[in-house]
Homo-oligomer: A and B are copies of this chain.
Amino acid sequence: MAATMQDVARRAGVSVKTVSNVVNGYPHIRPATRDRVLTAIAELDYQINLTARNLRTGRTGIIGLAVPELSLPYFAELADSVIEAAESEGLTVIIEQHGGRREREVEILTGSRRHLTDGLIYSPLALGPGDERLLDVPYPLVLLGERIFHGPVDHVTMRNTDAARAATEYLLGLGRRRIAAVGVHPGEEVGSAALRLDGYRAALDAAGVRPDPALEGEAGLWHRRTGAEAMAEVLDRGARPDAVFAFNDALALGAMHELQVRGLRVPEDVAVVGFDAIDEGRYSNPTLTTVDPGREEIARTAVRLLHGRTRGAAGEPQRVAPPFGILVGGSTEPGRERSASEP
Interface residues of A (CB under 8 A from B): 31, 34-35, 38-39, 41-43, 45-46, 48, 50, 53, 60, 62, 69-71, 73, 76-77, 79-80, 83, 92-97, 99, 102-103, 106-107, 109-113, 115-116, 133-134, 137-138, 223-225, 228, 253-254, 256-257, 260-261, 279-280, 282-285, 337
Contact = CB atoms under 8 A, between A and B. Distances in A.
User: Which secondary structure dominates where chain A touches chain B?
Assistant: helix
Contacts of A42: 106, 109-110, 133-134, 137
B110 A46 contact: yes
B62 A71 contact: no
Contacts of A46: 110
Contact of A285 (B73, B102, B134, B256): B256
A307 to B, nearest CB: 18
A48 B111 contact: yes
Contact of A110 (B35, B48, B116): B48
A123 B115 CA distance: 26
A253 B62 CA distance: 35
A99 B83 CA distance: 10
A260 B285 CA distance: 8
Contacts of A228: 283
Contacts of A45: 137-138
Contacts of A80: 69-71, 97
A140 to B, nearest CB: 15
B112 A60 contact: yes
